[in-house]
Amino acid sequence: MCTGRRSQFPRSLTQWICALSLCCSLTACVKHRPVHVASSPDADLDYVDFNAKWRIRVVVPILRIPGYIVPTTGATTEGHILEFTADKEYVGYETEYYSVLPRHTTGVRLKFASAEDVIDGKTSVRTQPRLQMFNLPPAVKYIRLVHLIRQSGSDHNMVIVGAANQNTLALLTASVLSNDSRMCNSSDETACIPVPQGIAVVPEEKTRVNGRAQWRPVR
């Protein structure tokens, strides 16, 4: 597990962000949902379609250096547990929340809800997200988070794809799968947004746990 300045990571994502930083396997974290599109022998695809009444949580590491992959220093073992420590370049993180709202006719739209920074242990509220992740054209009605695995279970990518209709969304998904960037050129009705490595994008739904409403990851 990850240690060292642990209090500055959201507890439920600590191991995941560290795993992203070290290119460790995330295969056990996702439930595979096959997509009926043309596939290639070195790729596998898994995705989540955004649903109304969900929210999207985005966790952005804040570093003193460019990028979002948290550098780690040292590795110690205690029993069978491997421990890493975030180095001095890591100063904190931002958590951003977006509401997934229904459109008047069909589909969904995203609305920025709130954000907060935790830097050197101090929390502050932000009125705008640090990273404009969801700059989607107004005509986009269907939004999908694609988890793409190429070459091996250790090489993961996430891409946010959006389209004005479901047929185009399927074509965009196939384009992402095949590494064909021609369909992914943003237009008034489509968008493909790669998620930078080191950033967590987590769709959540409200469920009741022990009689209390809580936001929990959808998978």
Residue 115 has pLDDT above 90, yes or no: yes
Contact 3, 83 (CB under 8 A): yes
Which tens digit of pLDDT belongs to each residue from 126-185? 999 988 889 899 999 999 999 877 655 545 579 999 999 999 999 999 888 787 777 787
Query: Please, are residues 117 and 124 in contact by the beta-carbon 8 Å criterion?
Result: yes
Which of 9, 27, 31, 7 lies closest to 18 in space, CA to CA?
Answer: 9
pLDDT digits (tens, 9 = 90+) for 6-50: 334 443 344 434 434 433 333 333 333 333 333 343 445 589 999
Q: For residue range 49-108, list pLDDT tens digits in order.
A: 999 999 999 999 999 988 898 887 766 666 666 666 667 888 999 999 999 999 988 999
pLDDT at 155: 53
63 three-class SS: strand
Residue 214 CA to residue 28 CA, distance in Å, equals 23
Q: What is the pLDDT of residue 29?
A: 36
Query: Residue 113: what residue type?
Result: A
The residue type at 200? A
* pLDDT value, residue 120: 86
Q: What is the pLDDT of residue 34?
A: 36
pLDDT at 1 over 50: no
∠ CA(132), CA(84), CA(219), 5° rounding?
50
What pLDDT, on a 0 to 100 scale, did the predictor assign at position 5?
40
